[in-house]
Structure 1
C-alpha cells in the first residue's frame, strides 16, 4: 500500500514547468497544448469548405456537426441553441484531457483546480442562461419556487452544483487511476494493459459525456419552459 500511497501523492502533486523563465503549473501547459491542437485541427478540418461539389471530408464533418447540434438542441430546446458551441468546446477539451493519458502525459483533469474552473464556468453560464431566458425578475421568482420557504434551499442548490460537477469529474478521473494501481499490485502482467485501455479511452469519454450532459440538464432547468 506504500507504493499506492506514493503513486497517489505523485498524481495529486501539481508539477511546475518553466516556460520562458516563468514557473507555470503542468496542467496549464498541457491545456495550452490541447487548445493549440484543437485550434489547429479546426482550421485544417474547416478549410476549403464548399457549397457545391462537397468533398467526403466535408460531408463527414457536416454530419458530425449536425448530429452533435441536434443532440444538444434536443436537450436544451431552441432557446438553448446559443449555448451549444460552449458545450461542444468543453466536451472536446475534457475528452482530449482525459485521453491524453494514453500518451504518457498527466491529464489536466487530475488537477482539482482545472475541474473546479470548468465547473465554475459552467455554473456561471447556467445561471446566465436562466437570467437571459426569464429576465431578472423571473429568475429571482424562480428562486422562491415552489414556495418562498424553499428559497434558501434553491440558493444552496446553486452553490452545490459547481461542487458536484467538479468533484464528480475529478473523483472519477482519480478513481480510475487508483483502481489501475491496485490492479497492477494484484496482477502486474497483461491484465493492467486491458483495464488501462478501458480507463484511458472508454471511461474518459464517459466522464466527458456525463459532465456536458449534466451541464445541459442544469441549463435546461434554469431556462425553464420559456420556449
Structure 2
C-alpha cells in the first residue's frame, strides 16, 4: 500500500514547467499542445473542400461532423443548436486529454484545476443559455419553480452542478489510475498493459461522452420548453 500511496501522491502532484522564465503548470502546457494539435488538424482536414466530386477524406469528415451535430441537436433541440460548437470543442479536448496517456504523457484531466475549469465554463454556459432562452425574468421565475419554497434548493442545485461535473471527470480518471496501480501489484506485466490500453482508450472516451452528455442534459433543462 505504501507503493500505491507514493504513486498516487506523485500522480496528484502538478509539476511546474519553465516557459520563457515563467513557471506554468504542466497540465496547462500539455493543454496548449493539445489545442495546437486540434487547430492544425482542423486546418489540414478542412483544406480544399469541394461542393461537387468530394474526396473520401471530406466525405468521412462530413459524416462524422454530421453524426456528432445530430446527436447534440437531438439532445438540445433546435433552440440549442448555437451551443453545439462549444460542446464539440470540449468533447475533442477531453478526448485528446484522456487519450494522450497512451503516449506516456500525463493527461491534463488528472489535474483538478483543469476539470474544475471545464465544469465552471460549462455551468456558466448552461445558465447563460437559460437566461438567453427565457429572458432574465423567466430565468429568475424558474428558480421559484414549482413553488417558491423550492427556491433555496434550486439555487443550491446550480451551485452543486459544477462540483458534480468536475469531481465526476476527475474522480473517474484518477480512479482508473488507482485500479491500474492495484493490478500491477498482483498480476504479471502483460495483464496491466491490456488494462492500461482499456483505461487510456475506451474508458477515456466514455468519460468524454459522460461529461458532454450531462452538460447537454443540464443545458436542455435550462432551456426549458422554449423551442
TM-score (norm 2): 0.99
Matched, 1:112 2:115: no
1:133 CA displacement: 0.3
- Tell me, in whole angstroms, the C-alpha distance in 2 between the residues paired with 1:196 and 1:135: 48
Instruction: Give RMSD over aligned pairs.
Output: 0.5
**How far is the alpha carbon of 1:72 from its aligned partner?**
0.3
* Distance (whole Å) between structure 2 residues aligned to residue 176 and residue 57 of structure 1: 34
How far has the Cα of 1:22 moved from its partner?
A: 1.1
Aligned residue in 1 for 2:226: 226
Map 1:27-46; keep pairs closer than 5 Å: 27-46=27-46
Counterpart of 2:178? 178
Q: Secondary structure at the match of 2:145?
A: coil
Aligned 1:201-216 pairs, distance under 5 A: 201-216=201-216
Q: Counterparts of 1:18-167 in structure 2 under 5 Å?
A: 18-167=18-167
Q: Provide the C-alpha distance between the structure 2 equivalents of 1:80 and 1:189, rounded to a whole number of angstroms.
A: 48
Give, in angstroms, the shift of residue 53 of structure 1.
Answer: 1.5
Task: Return the offset for 1:189.
Answer: 2.0
Deviation at 1:190, TM superposition (A): 1.0
Give distance in 1, aligned partners of 2:199 and 2:68. Answer: 24
The offset of 1:165, in angstroms, is 0.1
Secondary structure of 1:24 counterpart: strand
Q: Deviations over 1:71-127 (max 9, x none)?
A: 000000000000000000000000000000000000000000000000000000000
Aligned mates of 2:37, 2:80 — CA distance in 1 = 28
Measured after TM superposition, the shift of residue 48 of structure 1 is 0.4
Which whole-Å CA distance do the structure 1 matches of 2:84 and 2:226 have between them? 18
Residue 188 (structure 1) shift: 3.2
Structure 2, unaligned stretches of length 5 or more? none
In 1, the alpha carbon distance for the partners of 2:175 and 2:191 equals 18
Q: Which runs of 4+ in 1 moved over 6 A?
A: none
d(CA) in 1 for partners of 2:188 and 2:117? 36
Cα distance in 1 between the residues matched to 2:195 and 2:29 = 28
Per-residue CA distance 1:20-59 (angstroms, 9 max, x = gap): 1111000000000000000000000001001112111111
TM-score, normalised relative to structure 1:
0.99
Whole-angstrom distance in 1 between the partners of 2:18 and 2:70: 43
Gaps of 5+ in 1: none
Distance in 2 between the 1:206 and 1:44 partners?
27
2-side partners of 1:188 and 1:151: how far apart?
55
Q: Secondary structure at the match of 2:53?
A: coil
Distance (Å, rounded) in 2 between the aligned partners of 1:101 and 1:56: 30
